[in-house]
Amino acid sequence: MTEPHRDHVLVTLLGLAPKHATYTLGDRRADAPLAPVALYELLPAEERPTHAIALCTPEAGETFALFETELPIPVERIEVPTGTDDRDIDAFLHAFTGAFPPGTPVDLTLDLTHGLRHFALLVYTGALYLRALRKGDDAVRIRGAHYGLLADDRR
């Protein structure tokens, strides 16, 4: 039996004031203004996502425009609240998990470098929830979760 077509989505968080840096993954290096752009370049060609979803607060529009220009795959913006109260957290998780409707198998590569600090936890929790909830033909698989740790001007 053949496996159904699986989308491979890069999920990222975007913040404000991007800074050009050199990113590393293993022994590979890439210069980029945003971690998810570097991650895309650093992944082997056969492991690269086919499209991306960027979770952004309303203030991150300028960063999203840069991301959309720099990444060579289709990009979708999902606006999320800042997450400063319980209702925001529910709305954030609903916006994230709603991007992956049941019935569509998907692989996720998570870049948790940018954005507000608690966003990384919310995205990772949401991805684990989707993986636990969806089994069989519409399963969600997490290929990896990446965080660019700043060390001087290298990540």
pLDDT digits (tens, 9 = 90+) for 1-42: 445 568 999 999 999 988 888 888 888 999 999 999 999 999
pLDDT at 36: 95
What is the amino acid identity at position 34?
A: L
Spatial separation of the C-alpha atoms in residues 98 and 111, rounded to whole Å = 18
Q: Which two tokens stand for residue 7?
A: 């989308």
What value does the mean pLDDT of the chain take?
A: 89
- As a whole number of Å, the CA-based R_g of the chain is 15
Query: Sign of dihedral through CA atoms 44, 49, 51, 57?
Result: negative
